[in-house]
Structure formats: C-alpha cells, structure tokens
Amino acid sequence: MEELVESILDYIRADYTDYAIMINGEWGSGKTYFWNNKIRRKIDTMRLNGKQYTTIYMSLYGISNLEDISKKIFIETTQLMDKNLRKYMDEHEEKTIPEYAKTGIDMANLFGIAQNDNKINYEEFFATDDKVLCFDDLERANVDVIDILGYINNFVEHDHIKTIIICNEKELSTKLKSNNLEMKTFIATYLLDKQGELLKKDKPMVEKIKDKIEHIFDKANEYERIKEKLIGETFEYAPKFDYIINGILMRYEDDVDLIRFLRQNTNIIISTFNKSGTRNLRILKHALNDFQKVFEMVNKSYPNVSNRVMQTMLIFTIAISFEIKAGKITKDKFVDIKNNDEYKSILVSSRVLMDNKQFYIKEFDNNYYYNFKAEYRYFKFIEYYVRTRIFDMRLFKDDMEKVLNISGLVKIPAYKKLLTEEYWKISDDEFLDMIEEILTEVKKGKIQLVDMVKLYAYFSYFSRKKLIAYDINTLKDLFAKGMTLSSSNSEYCANIENELSKIAISNIAEDMEDILNKFYELNNQLKDKMYKKKADEIFKCIPMKMENFYDRFDKECMNIPIFKYQEPHQIFQRLLYASNEDIVIIKEKLIKRVELYGKEIKSEKENMSELKKLIDEYTKEKDNTIKIVMLKEFSKDLDYMLAKYETVKEKNE
C-alpha cells in the first residue's frame, strides 16, 4: 500500500503533467477512506517550487450538470467565503465545506444575496494552480461520463492541474452499456426492420439487436478513447483488509464489552468478510453496527448466553448482511425460513436426500460455517432486522429461548432431531431406538400433519437403503392412519409448496404420491374447519358488533369464500336484524369483493344463490318499507354478483 501512496505522490511532485491519474476499485472497498487518510493529508503538507499545495475533493455522486462541478470547485476554493464559516472550519480542522453550508451559499446566490452583492460566474473562476483536484464517484454521476471527462480534461490539458479521479470502472462499464437501454433497443430494432434484417434467420434476434446497439451507441469505445487521452496512469486499489478492518473496529472503543469481544474475534470477522467474496467494507461497517445492537440486546436480556452463541451470531449477522446487501440473492431467499429448526431441516434434506432445489441454503451454510460447529446457526430476529431494519422483540425472544433449550435443558423430540440432523451423526443403537420412538408418535397422531409428510420422505429413504425393517407398503399404511389421527390436532398448512420444497420429495416421487394425496385431502379438511370457525366468529358480529365485522371482513375475507362456510339461513336471519344502513354497506362491500376476486371466491356461489332465494321468499307480497326495499335491492345486486363469479378474472390476471 505504501508503494501505491508513493506512486501517487510522485505524480504530484512532477514539475509538469498534462494528464490525470485514476484510482480504480470496487464499491465499498475503502477508496475514499484511502484518499482521506493516506493521500490527502500528505499532499496538504507538501511544498513544491514555493507552492503550498492544497486538495479539493468533490464527490460526483448525484451531480446532474457540469455547472454543479464548477460550483463545488468555487465554494471549496474561494477567498470570499463567509468569515464565520472559515473560522468554524479552522477551529474544527475541516478541510471541506459541510454540505449544508454549500446549500446555504447556493441559496444565497440564487436569490442574489451573494458576497459583494454580485452573483457568481463560476466559469470565470479557476485560479487553481496550487491545488490538487480529486473527483470521486465518477460512475455515480447523473451526467454523461464522456462529458464529465471532457470537462476535467480542460483542467488537465490546458491548465496542467494535478487531478485524481476515483471510480469503479467495472460499474462504469455496466452503466455505459445499460444507459437508456429501452430507447437504444427501440432504435436498433427500427433500423434493423428498415434494413430488412429482422426477418433473416442468419443469427438470433437478440444478438442482432445487441450488435446494432453497440455499433450505433458505442459509448464504451468513446470512453476508452477519451480515457487514453486524459488518464496517464490507472492504479488498482487492492487494500490490505486486515489492517482496515482493525481500523474499523476502533469506532467501538467506547463500548468496553463489545470492543473486547470484537477484538477477541477479529479473525472470525476477517474470515467471514473474505468468505463473502466481495471487497465491500461499507457493508461490513453496516453489519458491525447491526451486531452492536444484537450484542447489546443479548447482554441485556440474556447475560448468561455462551460465547459460542455470540460468535455464531457475529458470523450470521455479517454473512446475512453480505448475502442480502451485496445483491447476491433476492431478499426472499430467507423470508420463509421461520427458525433454526427449519433451516437445519433444509440442510439435512439437501445432504441426505440430495435435494438441489435448496442448493443456495446449503452453499450458504457450507461457506460461512465451514469448520465452525454450532447447533444454533440461523437467527430469525437477526435476518429480519437486517432485511427490514426492524428489531422484532417477539422473534428475538423466540430465538433466544430456543438457544437456551438447545443447551440441554429441554429434551428435543426424536422426530425433530431426525428432521434437523444428518442421520449418520447418530450411533447405530440410538438410531434404531429413535426410529421406534418416532413410529410410536406417528401411530398416535402426535405429530403435525405437514411434519408427517416430511418424516415419511426420510422413512422411505431408510427403507430403500435397508436401514430399517419396514417395507414401503407397511410404512404407507402406518403413516396414512397416523395422519388421519394427526389431522384432529394439526393446523392448516397454507403455503404447501414452500413447506414441501424444504424436503427432497421429487427424488422419491414414486413413494410419495399416496401420502401426498392423503395430505392434500386432510389439509383441505383443516382449511374448511379453519374457515368455518372464522365464519362463525365474523358473522356473529352482525348486527351488534358491526365495526368488528367490517374490520375483520375487509382484512380476512375479501379473497376467501367465507360464505361457503356459513348456513345461508343464519346469514339471512342476521341481515334481517341489521340496520338499513348496514344492509347497504354490506351489499356494497360484496359487490366490490366479487369484482376483485370473483374467481377466487367462486365456491361460495351456491350459498349466495340460496341466500337470494331466502330474501326473495321473505320480501314477496310484503308491503314496501325501507327495510323491504333495501332487501329487494340486495337481492337484485346478488344477481349481478352471481354472474360475476363466472366472468371476473382473478386480480393477478
């Protein structure tokens, strides 16, 4: 790193230069930190040929026009700067004007209240022969990069001002190619059509369009041409991360317990950072800030938690931060994993049943926990905190209670052990005892229905491997009977596809069909049971608790066929006792509902048709009152709704 510093300083020391230099490195790798702490300070103490050099630093991030750059140079260098601001900067050893101060100066100029009562012509001010310009974040400017480099070239070629450009050329290349891609694709397609090239089959259409775009909009080559003219040397910034990470930890020196823990586990931090495969120190800083919160909450509420658990939390916080924030995955990869048991269950299924659908989770675990053994290594509260920025106390307590239980205070059921641990870690004698214990629980229906399916997948695998003395048919019969008993105490599984994707069912599909059919049948019964209970609770709110009815109906019943689970006669009786206003409101809600979700709630059509008959029979030959008129209108609109069940498309369509 010192060699790089000296090479840059040699450029500054040179008597005559007509070129700029570039420092290239990945986002978050510490380039700006390197400039501020290694380069700028040394330049600001240099005195050459009677000149005391000073630096002018400008981030181009968000710059929308070239005049903004001129403004920044002016504001950083002008001797007309407000005396109070200059005094503040001297007292606080500030080298650049705070952004809020720049905004104030800019607004003063906008309203004509500039120094000496004159607005500033930025283009006329460039007395910078004793300055070194540093332009950062080139790839993040909102101005065409070619225009910016042409602008900078004026300083370099004509005024021979020492100029350093800091950027991420990899991202710059991507930006040059992807900028205004829709417009470029449209023009390229139009030209190919005019040239009669679209109908030719000589090469794929995508390749033709890509070639035409590159031919017409060859920004990348234009960038290379101006770079060759402007940039004399490009230095690759490859920092020594061990040194920088130790520097990052210094920000926690005031937190005695935390800094002691971080210093003791610096190797874990560096190792996890390296395993991320990125050079992004910015993400590491955010991860350590998140861990500070985790460390504080754990020490406050669970001070006796083991050091091993805290180390695992440190690894997980850094790992999950990089996986989510470095763009390596979508955030949804971890959303559906509820807890450590599910996480381990996925890993076991991947390794035992050779399931590649969960390849990412297996690779995540193999990468970050390689040679690090820990029973509890997925913390939902940390994943949720990193992903949403919300520290959920309920998730925190759930995780921590389970962490304490793993220490041996609570016996783990045999079936959970099988689902969350590789079977080869179990001794032969213990394995056979565990199999019998699980089968006893299966026969009694003591295990949740969806876990029954997962367990059957393993028992089928064991049977084919001759590890257990049960054939497939015997197992099917035993599990089918156990599932029937289990359904009386099980909860409805709404996200079936996600739950079953956690085990490698596809690898033993020939054994699973009967068990899956049984599961779907029983799970549908559980759904009916759940909705029947919900319907009873919600419709009981009519007519005495209408606010509760409206609230729950809007939140829970808009896209489910709730009328299928309530007797039409009971609904009719409650409507009779509802106020006229409530009858109108209910009707309007039902119309809106069927227009949005007609296909999804179609199964309630028969009961709605029966409800209409009951209303018609009641109102027939009765003298009109407001209630009777409202009920007749309700019946009329039910005709409209019944037709909509057949014609309205689902919202997603």
Is 184 within a domain? no
Residue 374's contacts (CB-CB under 8 Å, 6 or more residues apart) are: 308, 309, 311, 312
* Least confident piece of the model among 274-278, 354-358, 483-487: 354-358
Q: Which of 570, 561, 566 is nearest to 594 (CA)?
A: 561
Domain-ending residue, one of 499, 516, 533: 516
How far, in Å, CA of 23 to CA of 239, rounded? 12
Instruction: Give the pLDDT band (50/70/90) at residue 90.
Output: low
Q: Are residues 392 and 433 in the same domain?
A: no
The answer to whether the beta carbons of residues 212 and 218 sit under 8 Å apart is no
Q: How high is the pLDDT of residue 222?
A: 66
Helix (H, G, I), strand (E, B) or coil at 83: helix
Q: How high is the pLDDT of residue 34?
A: 85
Q: Is the pLDDT of residue 100 over 90?
A: no
Q: How high is the pLDDT of residue 58?
A: 86
* pLDDT tens-place string over residues 399-454: 998 888 765 545 678 898 888 888 888 888 889 999 999 999 999 999 999 999 98
The answer to whether the beta carbons of residues 281 and 241 sit under 8 Å apart is yes
Q: Are residues 159 and 122 in the same domain?
A: yes
Instruction: Give the pLDDT band (50/70/90) at residue 558.
Output: very high
Reduced to 3 DSSP states, what percent helix, strand and coil does the chain have, rounded to the nearest 5? 65, 5, 30
The radius of gyration of the chain from alpha carbons, rounded to an integer in Å, stands at: 35
Q: What is the overall mean pLDDT for the chain?
A: 82
The answer to whether the beta carbons of residues 320 and 334 sit under 8 Å apart is yes
Q: Note the Cα 262 to chain centre separation in Å.
A: 26
The answer to whether the beta carbons of residues 122 and 67 sit under 8 Å apart is yes
630 vs 33: which has the higher pLDDT = 630
Q: Are residues 565 and 438 in the same domain?
A: no
**Burial (CB count <10 Å: 0-12, 13-18, 19+), residue 88:** middle
- Amino acid identity, position 85: L
How far, in Å, CA of 437 to CA of 112, rounded? 85
Q: How high is the pLDDT of residue 278?
A: 80
> What total number of domains does the chain contain?
4
How far, in Å, CA of 482 to CA of 484, rounded? 5
Q: Are residues 400 and 490 in the same domain?
A: no
Q: What is the DSSP string of 197-219?
A: -SS--SS-HHHHHHHHHHHH--H
Is 227 within a domain? no
Q: How high is the pLDDT of residue 238?
A: 73
The answer to whether the beta carbons of residues 61 and 137 sit under 8 Å apart is yes
Rounded mean pLDDT of 563-575? 95
Q: Is the pLDDT of residue 259 over 70?
A: yes
The answer to whether the beta carbons of residues 502 and 454 sit under 8 Å apart is yes
Q: How high is the pLDDT of residue 123?
A: 45
Strands 51-52 and 47-48: antiparallel
Q: How high is the pLDDT of residue 80?
A: 45
Could you count the other beta carbons within 10 Å of the beta carbon of residue 581?
A: 10
Domain-ending residue, one of 150, 176, 202: 176
β-bridge mates for residue 233, sequence order? 21
Domain-ending residue, one of 385, 410, 435: 410
Q: Are residues 269 and 374 in the same domain?
A: yes
Is 529 within a domain? no
Is 189 within a domain? no
Q: Are residues 319 and 405 in the same domain?
A: yes
Residue 454 belongs to domain spanning: 423-516
Q: Are residues 404 and 434 in the same domain?
A: no
Q: Which of 252, 20, 27 is nearest to 132 (CA)?
A: 20
Q: Is the pLDDT of residue 590 over 80?
A: yes
Q: Are residues 289 and 335 in the same domain?
A: yes
Rounded mean pLDDT of 248-257? 89
Is 532 within a domain? no
Q: How far is CA 127 from CA 19, 74, 123, 132, 242, in A?
A: 18, 9, 11, 12, 41
How far, in Å, CA of 240 to CA of 30, rounded? 10
Q: Are residues 469 and 609 in the same domain?
A: no
Rounded mean pLDDT of 265-274? 92
Q: Note the Cα 248 to chain centre separation in Å.
A: 25
Could you count the other beta carbons within 10 Å of the beta carbon of residue 425?
A: 10
Q: Is the dihedral of CA 165, 60, 96, 121 positive or negative?
A: positive
pTM for the model stands at 0.56
Q: Is the pLDDT of residue 652 over 70?
A: no
Q: Are residues 246 and 380 in the same domain?
A: yes
Q: How high is the pLDDT of residue 76?
A: 63
Rounded mean pLDDT of 543-553? 94
Instruction: Give the pLDDT band (50/70/90) at residue 12.
Output: confident
The answer to whether the beta carbons of residues 56 and 131 sit under 8 Å apart is yes
Q: Is the pLDDT of residue 127 over 70?
A: no
Residue 582 half-sphere exposure, CB side, CA atoms within 13 Å?
Answer: 16
Residue 368 half-sphere exposure, CB side, CA atoms within 13 Å?
Answer: 25
Q: Which of 374, 373, 379 is nearest to 295 (CA)?
A: 379
Structure tokens given for 136: 């950062």
Q: How high is the pLDDT of residue 177?
A: 59
- Amino acid identity, position 651: K
Q: Is the pLDDT of residue 242 over 80?
A: no
Q: Is the pLDDT of residue 79 over 90?
A: no
Instruction: Give the pLDDT band (50/70/90) at residue 620.
Output: very high
Is 542 within a domain? no
The answer to whether the beta carbons of residues 137 and 60 sit under 8 Å apart is yes
Could you count the other beta carbons within 10 Å of the beta carbon of residue 55?
A: 23
What distance separates the 2 farthest-apart alpha carbons in the chain?
A: 110
* Least confident piece of the model among 99-108, 260-269, 483-492: 99-108
Q: How high is the pLDDT of residue 126?
A: 46
Q: Is the pLDDT of residue 179 over 80?
A: no
CATH code at 117?
3.40.50
Structure tokens given for 370: 């390689």
Q: Which of 604, 439, 451 is nearest to 522 (CA)?
A: 451
Is 550 within a domain? no
Q: How high is the pLDDT of residue 512?
A: 84
- Percent of the chain clearing pLDDT 70 (strictly above): 81
Starting at the earlier edge strand, list the strands of the sheet with 20-24: 54-59, 131-136, 162-167, 20-24, 231-236
How far, in Å, CA of 443 to CA of 455, rounded? 13
Rounded mean pLDDT of 124-139? 74
97 vs 624: which has the higher pLDDT = 624
Q: Are residues 433 and 471 in the same domain?
A: yes
Q: Are residues 286 and 396 in the same domain?
A: yes
Residue 391's contacts (CB-CB under 8 Å, 6 or more residues apart) are: 293, 297, 381, 385
Q: Where are the beta strands (DSSP E) in 73-212?
A: 131-136, 162-167
Q: How high is the pLDDT of residue 411?
A: 67
Q: Which of 128, 170, 130 is nearest to 152 (CA)?
A: 128
Q: How high is the pLDDT of residue 104?
A: 47
Is 509 within a domain? yes
